[in-house]
Amino acid sequence: MKYIDEFRDGELARGLSEAIRREARPDRRYHFMEFCGGHTHAISRYGVADLLPDNVEMIHGPGCPVCVLPIGRVDQAIRLALDNDVILCAYGDCLRVPASGGLSLLRAKASGGDIRMVYSSADAVELARQHPDRQVAFFAIGFETTTPPTAVAIKQALALGLKNFSVLCCHVLTPPAMMAILNAPERIAIEGFVGPAHVSTVIGSRPYEPFAQQYGKPVVIAGFEPLDVLQAIRMLVRQVNDGRAEVENEFTRAVDRDGNRKAQALVDEVFELREIFEWRGLGVLPNSALRLRPAFAEFDAELRFGSAYQPVDDHKSCECAAILRGLKRPTECKLFGNVCTPENPVGSCMVSSEGACAAHYTYGRYRDA
Amino acid sequence: MRDYSRPLDLKNGRVEMAHGAGGRAMAHLIEALFARRLDNEWLAQGDDGAVLPAPGAGRLVMATDSHVVSPLFFPGGDIGCLAVHGTINDVAVMGARPLWLSAAFILEEGFPLGDLARIVDSMALAAKEAGVPVVTGDTKVVERGKGDGVFITTTGVGILPAARELSGRRARPGDAILVSGTLGDHGMAIMAGRDSLGFESPILSDTAALHGLIDALHECGAELHVLRDPTRGGLATTLNEIARQSGVGMLLQEKAMPINPLVAAACEFLGLDPLYVANEGKLVAICAENDALALLAALRAHPLGVHAAIIGSVHEDPNHFVQMATTLGGKRIVDWLTGDQLPRIC
Amino acid sequence: MCLAIPAQVVELRAGDNALVDLAGVRKEISLALVDGIAVGDYVIVHVGYALNKLDPEEAAKTLALFAEIGQFDAGQMVH
């Protein structure tokens, strides 16, 4: 597969691994947070940690939209299906997230809810078109990569004059989440960030510049493949060694400073900022999430069905919050691996294959043995 | 042979409740659609059960499988041949020679008779090519909406020679782990036809009867410890099962995994891992270390094993982990499948 | 972030769609988020939409850089 296989080459990986080993100063420790869940997955799935020297450590960040989705939001989706007889369309990732009352979207489906997995928001619009007698709602989760597709779907529904299509909008933004990590009262050692790959193709590299400037933390945007991640880590090591704090771009084949202006404009046309939004693990953050603009209010599922968000507490012993902030490791959660497993997830970090807990459990727990 | 007033309308006819009611309509369906196609002396007798010769020396192996695949017709096969192959394979991986099959159908009212005929023809062909007849069967009809077109359950019986002992409990530290060919073909062939997730590709299901291949393995003289066909849940699930049954760990080499580039690409599109995708015509074989090359040669010499490979080895591990050295040079676990493998967006 | 794959555009279709190919597997996706895509271009595909065009020159440069890094002598001081 072109542009994929070459970036997974074992020989080149060895070379990069050696380079990191050479450049990492033996007298210091490096802690980098990979913000994006896709990177967490790649690191675990390829065993990248085995290719890093002991003094370079990766901390998993909150960039997994399933992991930061609060229980209350999944509840809203479930209620639409069970109470309002809506055809609820969702991406595969969120079907297993545990919500209130022992339910998940998958369990709600087993209870009779008409819940359908879709690959694309366009498929939800198509379903609405095919079933004019039913209400179809799309559970729109995701960071800035996934938001433009939702915008397109809404405009499509408008153009088609669909009266039975709506969106439960839970799209969130990356920079506020990064800021929440940097502003955290607890001091965790993070010397730099591996910036998200595909979010950056949409938003460009510019939004990260304040973090480098104001917080003095280097950010290197990395492509999606393991070689990209290794190279980005190497670039971070160099910045730290040099005492620099800049935004660098490793993913030059798909990211530039401006990003995708067309996608940004579409998002801006359809969505506006929510003043506040609750994130799992990061708490309530201002201007960190989106809702539909008044011009598109007819497609807002929360308005159409009077669906309101009710905050729900996480399980008392669930450490997802601390883990999402990089404060704790999965193995430091009392529930990890015994009560909370991928089969029976207590928190969402264990559901998504990009959650720190699931990634560690699925790919890396042999290291704990 | 009774004469019926009208031949079955295979072009436009559909399954009706009467076809399952035990009366004339059902007899007609069985005779015209099933018995005529599956065509053997036992079905021709039309009795409730098949009278079969008791096998001589050795032990009996019995296996059963229900088939609920959707779509019913997929690239490379259909529910009919799948039902035949699947149960033959379950019997054969126990080391037994498959002798006879039974087939029970649950039909949904309204299911097109033409499609049913196609399915039965496919079963008949698969059974004939495998040399394993369907000697007895059953038909039931459920109301429209209560069944997904057709469900098929097949049971198979085979004879196991006295000396042979294959079991998931017999993998030992030092053993070599082999697979007979490319992984994930069946699951991705099915996925291609799915509504939202679908894609266009020439991927074909690998559904096949493996007893001929397995005979070749027994004949090559290798000390075989475990034979299994990795179906639902893929290779990863099968290896984890064996690791737990045998109380051992495994180390796999990602580089060695035979995967059709088309399957790899389709998995990339959907964020799936081919190690967890279903197969319907592949074997996992675990043998004594010294016999690995002989076993590999025997596999590769057979048309169903041309892409066979040695993919890893067994070692001591109280945790029973299945680990894998990645193409990148790192290590990871290949864990049990959790729930259904769901395509990722992230 | 988020699973996206580079695929080649093999056919432009009605309604701002395109047929893309990844090593022989083809899927119809939307070009609504990008401009100026021609057959032969590589795009990054996420949940059924092309997000961006992939720059083959930059890809080549990145790979060349990886190869070069791997060839540094152990003795060379890299700073």
Grouping H, G, I as helix, E, B as strand and the rest as coil, residue C58 is: helix
ipTM over 0.85: yes
A16 lies within 8 A of chain C by CB: yes
pLDDT of residue A31: 95
Say yes or no for a CB contact (<8 Å) between C30 and A7.
Answer: no
Q: Which tens digit of pLDDT belongs to each residue from C29-76? A: 999 999 999 999 999 999 999 999 999 999 999 999 998 887 764 444
Has residue B133 been placed in a domain? Answer: yes
Q: Is residue A254 part of a domain?
A: no
Decide if A51 and B261 are in contact by the 8 Å CB cutoff. Answer: no
Pairwise CB contact (< 8 Å): B329 & A47: yes
Instruction: Determine, for residues B266 and C5 on separate chains, whether the beta-carbon distance falls below 8 Å.
Output: no
Q: Which of C1, C3, C23 sits opposite B262 (nearest CB)?
A: C23
Do both A166 and A192 map to the same domain? no
C78 has pLDDT over 60: no
* Partner-chain residue, chosen from B203, B264, B344, that has the shortest CB–CB distance to C3: B344
Considering the domain architecture, whether residues A267 and A235 belong to the same structural domain is answered as no
Task: Give the pair of three-digit tokens for residue B151.
Answer: 């469900």
Query: Å from A249 to nearest chain C CA?
Result: 11
Q: What is the mean pLDDT of each run of 10 residues along chain B (346 residues)?
A: 72 90 86 88 87 87 94 94 97 95 96 96 97 95 93 96 87 98 95 79 94 95 94 94 97 97 92 93 97 97 98 96 93 82 59
- Name chain B contacts of A10, Cβ cutoff 8 Å: 255, 327-329
Helix (H) or strand (E) holding C57: helix C56-70
Q: A194 lies in a domain?
A: yes
Specify the number of domains making up chain B. 2
Q: Are residues B115 and B236 in the same domain?
A: no
**Tens digits of residue pLDDT in A293-352:** 999 999 999 999 999 999 998 888 999 888 888 888 999 999 998 999 888 888 888 887
Task: For residues B153 and B46, state if they share a domain.
Answer: yes
| Torsion angle defined by CA atoms of residues C73, C74, C77 and C79, in that order, rounded to the nearest 10 degrees | 90
Chain B residues with at least one Cβ partner in C under 8 Å: 198-203, 261-262, 264-266, 268-269, 271, 344-346
Q: How confident is the model at residue C79 (pLDDT cuts 50, 70, 90)?
A: very low
pLDDT (tens digit per residue) in B105-120: 999 999 999 999 999 9
3-state secondary structure chain A: CCCCHHHHCHHHHHHHHHHHHHHCCCCCCEEEEEEEHHHHHHHHHHCHHHHCCCCEEEEEEEECCCCCCCHHHHHHHHHHHHHCCCEEEECHHHCCCCCHHHCCHHHHHHCCCCEEECCCHHHHHHHHHHCCCCCEEEEEEECCCCHHHHHHHHHHHHHCCCCCEEEEEEEECHHHHHHHHHCCCCCCCCCEEEECCHHHHHHCCHHHHHHHHHHCCCEEECCCCHHHHHHHHHHHHHHHHHCCCCEEECCCCCCCCCCCHHHHHHHHHHEEEEEEEEECCCEEEEEEEEEECHHHHHHEHHHHCCCCCCCCCCCCCCCHHHHHCCCCCHHHCCCECCCECCCCCCCHHHCCCCCHHHHHHHHHHHHCC
Query: Which CATH number fits the domain that encloses residue A200?
Result: 3.40.50.11750
Q: What is the CATH number of the domain that holds B272?
A: 3.90.650.10
The CATH number covering residue A98 comes to 3.40.50.11740
Residue A200 shares a structural domain with residue A330: no
B112 and B247 in a common domain: no
Do B124 and B191 lie in a common domain?
no
Chain C residues near residue B342 by CB distance under 8 angstroms: none
Cα distance between residue B150 and residue B139, in whole Å: 10
Q: Are residues B197 and B143 both part of a single domain?
A: no
- Is B341 within the bounds of a domain? no
Same domain, residue pair A183 and A214 = yes
Q: What integer is the mean pLDDT of A105-110?
A: 93
Gap from A364 CA to chain B (nearest CA, Å)? 6
User: Final residue of a domain: which of B160, B188, B212?
Assistant: B160
The domain total for chain A is: 3
Q: Provide the pLDDT for residue C77.
A: 46
**Does any CB of chain C come closer than 8 Å to the CB of residue A159?**
no
Clarify whether residues B44 and B121 are in a common domain. yes
List the chains bordering chain B where 3 or more Cβ pairs fall under 8 Å. A, C
C56-70 helix and A226-242 helix, angle to the nearest 10 degrees: 70
**Does residue B101 belong to any structural domain of this protein?**
yes
CATH number corresponding to C5-70: 2.30.30.140
Chain C residue numbers touching B269 (CB-CB < 8 A): 5, 7, 22, 25, 27, 45
- Which chains have at least 3 CB atom pairs separated by less than 8 Å from chain A? B, C
The stretch A224-240 carries a mean pLDDT of: 96
Same domain, A48 and A110: no
Please indicate, yes or no, whether residues A98 and A159 belong to a single structural domain of this protein.
yes
- Among the partner-chain residues C35, C47, C63, the one whose CB lies closest to the CB of A262 is C35
CB contact under 8 A, C24 and B269: no
Query: Residue A152 is part of which domain span?
Result: 71-171+260-304
Interchain contact, B328 vs A369, CB within 8 Å:
no
Q: How far is it, in rounded angstroms, from Cα A154 to Cα A151?
A: 5
My answer on whether A245 and A265 are in the same domain is no
Residue A99 sits in the same domain as residue A205: no
List CB contacts (< 8 A) between A65 and chain B.
Answer: 346
Among C3, C52, C54, the residue with its CB nearest the CB of A260 is C52
Q: How confident is the model at residue A131 (pLDDT cuts 50, 70, 90)?
A: very high
Rounded mean pLDDT of A56-79? 92
Do B229 and B279 meet the contact criterion of CB atoms below 8 Å apart?
A: yes
Task: Report if residue A19 sits inside a domain.
Answer: yes
Closest partner residue to A254 (CB to CB) among C2, C54, C65 is C54
**Residue A66 domain flag:** no
Q: Are residues B74 and B142 in the same domain?
A: yes
In a domain, B344, yes or no: no
| B255 touches A: beta carbon within 8 Å | yes
Query: Are A166 and A89 members of one domain?
Result: yes
Residues A147 and A234 in one domain: no
What integer pLDDT is reported at residue B344 of this predicted model? 57
Same domain, residue pair B205 and B329: yes
B198 and B152 in a common domain: no
- The verdict on residue A343 lying in a domain is yes
pLDDT at C37: 96
In a domain, A235, yes or no: yes
* Domain that residue B255 falls in: 176-333
Closest CA–CA distance from residue B237 to any residue of chain A (Å): 13
pTM of the model: 0.90
Within this chain, do residues A344 and A298 fall inside the same structural domain, yes or no? no
B340 lies in some domain:
no
Is the same domain home to A183 and A285? no
